[in-house]
Structures are given as structure tokens and as C-alpha cells.
Amino acid sequence: MGAVLRLWPVALLMLAAVALTLGVGVRDLSAGAIWRALTAWDPTDPAQVVLVEIRLPRLATGLVAGAALGLAGCVMQALTRNPLADPGLLGVNAGAAFAVVTGALIIGGSGAGLTAILAFPGAALAAAAVFLLGGGLRGEPGPVRLTLAGVAVSALLYSIVNALVLIRGDALEVFRFWVAGTLAQGLQKPLAEMGLVVLAGWLLTLWLAPLLELLALGRDLARGLGTNPLRVQGGALLAVTLLSGAGVAIAGPIAFLGLIVPPVTRRLAGGDLRRELMVAPFVGASILLLADGAGRLILAPAEVRVGVMTAILGGPVFVWIARSLRPGEAR
């Protein structure tokens, strides 16, 4: 029995996140009201309507998006062996948002339904581009090159998204969603479908975990042990695409969550990638929901988008990780 998976901190985090999401907001709900909504549904009680039509969809969005982006961060860090990897920082979220916005402009949809599917090819293209530009195939991409390649791809795609949004000023409110993420308005999103995609991505990452750990020992050794490095890398990129695409499709491009989750799961799971990936969805969901709750409390009654909150939280985490890299690692 090597590492023990410590579950109680995760359970506590989840409990706090769910309580904060359901209970706190423009209208505070008591535990009793929540209980009554579950046991004795009464559509004339405004508190119960708030809970079912606003808070529960918000909770579901946060659970799915947080799980997706947290998992995506863990897989990207395992794949690139770069502790600064994150789907937001490495441009994958930007690719998804860019594809959805361009698609919505061409097709003329509202950004729900059909155009949300475009998030997947967008995420896939951006992930592949950053991975190749960062030198992923030919060797280990160094953190500096990979991160800056991601910054450049993000900057390029967000500049285009910004320009498109400004040119089409009429749809500003709809498109602002694709520039900074939010968990609000969960009812209009393809939540169930994306939840299934995230589940598929999760299973894929759990299956890939031992192969990724093998690959981390070196490409030659992995090949010698009967693993095809290209296939493992391709599988990991597919998982990142599914997870980031689904997360962005329902919550918009939220950066930094994939950066914050892996250090936490590493401490909880003690260095075993599969165990890490087992807790990562719960850690990601609770951190995202807690950040969202803080964003609703901090300037109440106004609301700070959760993407802004994760950026404030994630910037210092980025600095802390960057500082702790050994000089030889910072290539």
C-alpha cells in the first residue's frame, strides 16, 4: 500500500462548494428551504423557484465545467511534463471559443445547441498547434517555449474574437460569454450532452494514465516496453480536446483552473497519476464553484464572472510554480 488517497479533504471541499452555490446569492436560501424544495415541491414558493431554476443549473454547470477543466489541466501537465500547462494558458480554450464565435457568426445561431459542437474541432486544432509549436513531438517542450506558444496562440485567437465581437456590436452580451467564462444561465446550455462527453473523457484519461506515466520515463523506454508514444500522445490530446471543448461549450473559456487543480491532486493522491485523475474532477468542480461563490459575494449584488476570479487566483499560483522550477527545467 503505497500512497493513500486522502478523500476527506475532497469531501469537505465539495460540501462547502455545494452549500455556497445553493445557499448564497442575491437571495439567501436557508437549508430548510432547500430541503423543502427537494421533499415538498411548491412552484408558488419564490425561494424554491430560485433554487430549481437558477441555483441547481448553476451547480450542474460548475460541476461539469470544473471537472472537465481540472481534468484537462492534469492530463496536459502529465503529457507535456510541464507544471505550467493549462487548457486556458495553452490556448485550447481560446481555440474552442474562437470556433464557436466564428461559427455563430457564419451560421447565425445563438451560440447554444449546434454551434457549441464547434468547440471540439476548435479545441483540437489549438491543442495540436500549441503542442507542435512548443516542440512536443521532437522532444520535451520546455515550460518557457510551451507557455509562450500558448500565450501567443491565445492572444491571436482572442484578438480575432474581440475584433469580431466589436465589429458585430449588436450581439455583445451573447458573445461576451465567449471572452470570459461564467456559470450563469445554465438552463440554455447542452448540459447533459456535455456531461456525457466529460464522462467519456474522464474514462479515457483513467485508461491512459499508466501509459502516460510510462511515457514520462522516456520515449525509448516506453517504446521498448511495447507502448507507442505517438498513440499515447494522440490519445491524451483527444482527451484534452473532449474535456476542454465540453467545459468551454457550457461555461466559456475559463483559464487557470487546470493550473490550480494538479498541485492539489498531487498532494492528495501522492504521485500516482490514476489516483490523481480519480479525484481531479471533484477538486476542479469544488474550486470552480467556490471561486464562483466568492465572485457572487465579493461585489454583491453585482456579480464577478468566475473567469475573472480564477485569473486572480491563478496568476499567483502561476508565479509560485514558475519560481519553483529548477534553472535546468526552465528552458
CB closer to another protein out of 167 and 192:
167
Min separation Cβ 271 and another protein, Å? 24
Min separation Cβ 86 and another protein, Å? 11
Rounded distance between C-alpha atoms, residue 87 and residue 255, angstroms: 7
CB closer to another protein out of 126 and 268:
126
CA 316 to chain centre: 18
Residue 232: how many CB atoms within 10 A of its CB? 19
Which parts of this chain interact with another protein (CB under 8 A)? 84, 133-135, 142-145, 147-149, 151-153, 155-156, 158-160, 162-163, 166-167, 169, 180, 256, 299, 302, 304, 308-309, 311-312, 314-316, 318-319, 322-323, 325, 327, 330-331
CB closer to another protein out of 200 and 317:
317
Give whole-number Cα distances, 90 to 96, 102, 165, in Å.
Answer: 12, 20, 22
Min separation Cβ 299 and another protein, Å? 6
Min separation Cβ 139 and another protein, Å? 9
CB closer to another protein out of 146 and 204:
146
Q: Residue 228 in contact with residue 63, Cβ under 8 Å?
A: no
| Pairs from 234-239 (Cβ < 8 Å, separation ≥ 24) | 235/204, 235/208, 235/211, 236/75, 236/76, 236/78, 236/79, 236/205, 236/208, 236/212, 237/79, 237/124, 237/127, 237/128, 237/131, 238/124, 238/204, 239/71, 239/72, 239/75, 239/201, 239/204, 239/205, 239/208
Cell of 259: 493550473
Min separation Cβ 295 and another protein, Å? 9
CB closer to another protein out of 102 and 227:
102
CB closer to another protein out of 165 and 277:
165
CB closer to another protein out of 64 and 146:
146
Rounded distance between C-alpha atoms, residue 105 and residue 34, angstroms: 40
Min separation Cβ 89 and another protein, Å? 8
Rounded distance between C-alpha atoms, residue 123 and residue 84, angstroms: 18
Min separation Cβ 293 and another protein, Å? 15
Cell of 301: 449584488
